Amino acid sequence: MFAKGFLKLLPIVSGILAGYVTSLFFGVVDFTPVVEASWLSLPNFTAPEFNINAILFMLPVAIAPAVEHVGDMLAISNVTGKDYLKKPGLHRTIAGDGVATIAASMVGAPPNTTYSEVTGAVMLTKAFNPVIMTWAAVTAIVLALVGKLGAILQTIPVPVMGGIMILLFGSIATVGLNTLIKNNVDLHKSRNLVIVAITLVFGIGGMAFGIGDFSLQGVSLCGIVAIILNQILPHDLGENKVVDNAQIED
């Protein structure tokens, strides 16, 4: 609570270590991937090719990062106290995401995306300097070339990382709620309540729609549903007014 910067992440790191050690005692950690992994590991580059099935499969995957990007920009703006939607501007940040995704696809990599977990880490550490993120990205790229390290990270049991994800994603959910509060979103209005309720249920409940190889679920589905509801629902839908005791007595 009283620590600063990286020290605020020590409880998270300690939690991972404690969970990992406990997993070792229960024998659920498999070091076979570490033994088999090489020290130097290069990605498998592949040339792009036209495949309609792959396009239909990846389309919702491409929608999800776009929707998540907008949400993360709002969240990080709220956390840092700076309006990144205006400077540098959402059109520039999402264009950068698009260019990066195009570049990645040229060598067979998946679409790029902003990670909500990073926003959670920034919220915990209060480290807002973009230079830190640049060095973190460069470090991650270099470490990604060390096959042994990647294999060690893969040995961390899912329940251990799941516990950490609860904290990080819980932080993001809190930031989202705080964003609604700061923007004076009145959830007493039926319109706003319907949009938030349906979006939450679709996301938490794992709702999915699909036709053939095309499937929408998760962030992409929730984002599209929220946008559609925001466009089609009338602004005066079921206006609810809170009646206080004084009004009742009158």
d(CA 158, CA 154): 9
Label the pairing between strands 214-217 and 208-211.
antiparallel
Closest CA relative to residue 61, chosen from 219, 200, 225, 212: 219
- Burial class from Cβ neighbours inside 10 Å (0-12, 13-18, 19+) for residue 114 reads buried
Residue 209: φ, ψ to 5°: -125, 135
Decide if 66 contacts 166 (C-beta within 8 A). Answer: no
Alpha-helical segments (H) within the chain = 10-26, 32-36, 52-80, 90-105, 116-125, 130-144, 147-154, 158-182, 190-204, 218-232, 245-249
pLDDT at position 184, please?
Answer: 81
Low-confidence ranges of the chain (pLDDT < 50): 1
Domain ranges of the chain: 6-185, 186-238
pTM, entire model: 0.60
Decide if 198 contacts 225 (C-beta within 8 A). Answer: yes
Chain segment 48-70, per-residue pLDDT in tens: 788 887 777 777 667 777 777 88
* Furthest C-alpha separation in the chain: 79
Neighbour count for residue 226 (Cβ, 10 Å): 19
